[in-house]
Amino acid sequence: MILITGGLGYIGSHIAIELLKENFKVLVIDNLENSSINQVNLIEKAYEFETKDCDFFHKFRFLEGDLLNKSFLGNVFLSYKIDAVIHLAGLKSVEDSVKNPLNYYVSNVFGSINLLQAMKTGNTKKIIFSSSACVYAPKNTMPLSEDSTLGPINPYGNTKLVTENLLKEYHKCLSTFSVGILRYFNPIGSHCSHIIGDSPRNESANLMPILGKISLGSIKHLNIFGNDYATIDGTGVRDFIHVVDLARGHISALQKILSEDKTLLTLNFGTGVGYSVLQVVKMFQEVSKEKIPIKYCSRRAGDLSISYTNPSLAMEMLGWKAEKSLQEMCNDSWLFFKNKN
């Protein structure tokens, strides 16, 4: 059985479906801080839509609980035989992390330490950790490779790097322990059923959920944070990756760590192609046939001008690469937003 922490979130829900498709049993824990219990039904529906398999609850379990609750976590590992953990739970707003840094250290770092302690109780020695492209220092040349200079510029990014280091250290000290550290770029898109997608309970400051709200009329225009960057059109450039590609990458990484007793993988998960904010807006307008009014405003504090990866190490180590185009990403996001409305 594979445990997904934070598994009712955007990325976790998609990973759960890919795991079930590969016949893994899945246990999700989530504290529902940024998701809702109804997500279990949505994952079930999306899974059944895609596979026509009505056996969902024989393979999928959900438990509400928090990584800061040690007795809950300990019981999870005593009650279930967990072969590996995919660790996604944590706080993820860069802006909020600057306002409340301690909350980020408590949830993201203490939460990870508690998880490792509970894994010890259950003798579980395999973990995939959801890290972020924001562990890299701003001054790197593009594309980013896994050995680019590290140096996060906000507390959120620092908690990711601290946790990476903790996992690396732990891996070094144990005779058997396998770790996959995956540094995500910018996941967008949705499941092919358009039943699950990016729909956090708390307000999101990310580009795609905002485009969704504008297209459906609940926000009037997009504030574009800066049009004076040294990029193709002056707006920021990011490596957007389809969330299903990202989820598939987790399956490849999981298979690798399951097959090896002492592995340490650190991989960037992106497409290798950067698109500007304006290029994404244009594509979103094209697929949705909705006009996205824009206003240029000043740069957002902490934003990078350009961020995209060299995806070749992931290909070399896992034989995995992202396949879906920007058009597919925007189309799936749009159909999800429309469906949810």
Footprint of ligand UD1 on this chain (CB under 6 A)? 92, 94, 132, 134, 186, 205-207, 210, 222-225, 236, 238, 277, 300, 302-304
Q: b/e per residue, 7-29, with b = 16+ CB within 10 A?
A: bbbbbbbbbbbbbbeeebbbbbb
Query: Closer to ligand UD1 at the Cβ: 222 or 318?
Result: 222
Residue 192 DSSP code: T
Asked if 270 and 241 count as a contact pair (C-beta separation under 8 A), the reply is yes
Tell the smallest beta-carbon distance from residue 122 to ligand UD1 (Å): 29
Query: Closer to ligand UD1 at the Cβ: 203 or 261?
Result: 203
Tell the smallest beta-carbon distance from residue 314 to ligand UD1 (Å): 17
Tell the smallest beta-carbon distance from residue 22 to ligand UD1 (Å): 26
Tell the smallest beta-carbon distance from residue 212 to ligand UD1 (Å): 12
Closest CA to 207 of 190, 194, 224, 220: 224
Query: Closer to ligand UD1 at the Cβ: 70 or 213?
Result: 213
Alpha-helix runs per DSSP H in the chain = 10-21, 38-51, 56-59, 70-79, 94-99, 101-104, 111-122, 155-173, 207-215, 243-259, 277-288, 312-318, 326-340
Rounded CA separation 135/163 (Å): 11
Tell the smallest beta-carbon distance from residue 134 to ligand UD1 (Å): 3
Q: Which residues contact 98 (CB under 8 A, 6 or more apart)?
A: 154, 155, 301, 302
Three-class DSSP category at 90: coil
Residue of 10, 104, 156, 229 with catalytic role: 156
Tell the smallest beta-carbon distance from residue 169 to ligand UD1 (Å): 23
Is 80 part of the annotated catalytic residue set? no
Question: By beta-carbon distance, which residue lies closest to ligand UD1?
Answer: 236
Residue 139 DSSP code: T
Query: Closer to ligand UD1 at the Cβ: 8 or 207?
Result: 207
Query: Distances in Å between the alpha carbon of 36 and those of 41, 64, 102, 104, 167?
Result: 10, 10, 25, 21, 29
Query: Closer to ligand UD1 at the Cβ: 47 or 184?
Result: 184
Could you give the strand order of the β-sheet that contains 275-276, starting from the edge strand earlier in sequence? 275-276, 237-238, 306-307
Query: Closer to ligand UD1 at the Cβ: 65 or 209?
Result: 209
Catalytically annotated residues:
156
